[in-house]
Amino acid sequence: MRRHAWHERPDAGLKGHRLLARLGKRVLRPGGAELTTILLARAGVTGSDVVELAPGLGRTAREIIDRRARSYVGVDSDPVAVDAVRGIVSGRGTVAVADASATGLPAGSADVVLGEAMLSMQGDKAKNAIVAEAARILRPGGRYGIHELGLTPDTLPDQVKTGIRQALARSLKVNARPQTVAEWRTLLESHGFVVEHVDTAPMALLDPRRVIADEGVRGAARFVGNLIAHPDARRRVLSMRRAFRTHRDHLVGVAIVARKPA
């Protein structure tokens, strides 16, 4: 009966990241919480006016606030996500419903713009529009930090890239478009950014050790308990994990910090 109920629920066909969030997964970044920590340190959020694009569950928003950013503005197209992040940054920041490619924010109003695990889900046109918007709202000398899904090595044949993207799209139910590290650099540089830092980490989102490291023992136990309770969801998550493991030699989390020239 429980299995049938889960299958019939309107969220049974959710995109992969939304399904994982519903099951209790709080860290949904390709390189895990550790790579996010590196990104925030490299970007220099302390004392800065920070804009976060697509903050999602608000995990990184909380870290930005804890690092004493001078101001925080979150921008997300999902009203539910906006409400959730508002609760986290209440009194210390604001959140608006808008598209990452057209935030409506004033030009030159931010020292730091951050985006995690969102460009990877966009086609080339949308990627360029979002990066162009980040460049617009940054002050001269400002930093743009991204944490995305990367392909490795840089010499990976196009046919292999296509096969990996198709496998991810099938398991995640979203048109995942990861790029090589060199391609991520080229994207940023094509909009005038100067890349200053590049860090990578294994793409191990659903490996037990990473789940415990990211979620803590209690959070990992809650996630596993939800998987046990919902067999249909468990099958989908295991399908995602198989796709990640099948292509693990060619998948990485990549964090890049680039500067807008003064």
CATH number, position 89: 3.40.50.150
pLDDT in tens, 91-130: 999 999 999 999 999 999 999 999 999 999 999 999 999 9
Answer whether residue 77 shows pLDDT above 80: yes
| Least confident span in 58-67, 171-180, 253-262 | 171-180
Domain that residue 108 falls in? 2-259
Please give the tally of structural domains in the chain. 1
Pick from 146, 221, 244, 227: which is nearest to 191 by CA?
146
Show Cβ contacts of residue 106 under 8 Å, excluding neighbours closer than 6 positions.
Answer: 137
Confidence at 10, pLDDT banded by 50, 70, 90 = very low
Q: Whose CA is closest to 199, among 257, 250, 152?
A: 257
Tell me the pTM. Answer: 0.92
**Residue 160, Cα to own-chain centre: how many angstroms?**
23
Q: What is the pLDDT of residues 205-241, one digit of tens each?
A: 999 999 999 999 999 999 999 999 999 999 999 999 9
Which residue in the block uniquely carries the two structure tokens 């804009």? 51
Paired strand residues for 255: 147, 199
**Helices 208-229 and 231-246, interaxial angle, to 10°?**
150
Q: Are 144 and 134 in contact (CB under 8 A)?
A: yes
In angstroms, the CA 24 to CA 218 distance is 11
For every residue of 68-132, DSSP letters joined together read T-SEEEEEES-HHHHHHHHHHHTTT-EEEE-BTTB--PPTT-EEEEEEESSGGGS-HHHHHHHHH
What is the CB neighbour count within 10 angstroms for residue 190?
A: 11
Q: Pick the closest to residue 241 from 225, 226, 255, 227 (CA basis).
A: 227
Q: What is the DSSP letter of 60?
A: H
Q: Are 128 and 186 in contact (CB under 8 A)?
A: no
d(C-alpha 18, C-alpha 125), whole Å = 24
> E-strand spans in the chain?
49-53, 71-76, 94-97, 110-116, 138-151, 179-180, 194-202, 251-259
pLDDT tens, residue by residue, 131-178 = 999 999 999 999 999 999 999 999 999 999 999 999 999 999 988 899
Q: What is the pLDDT of residue 12?
A: 53
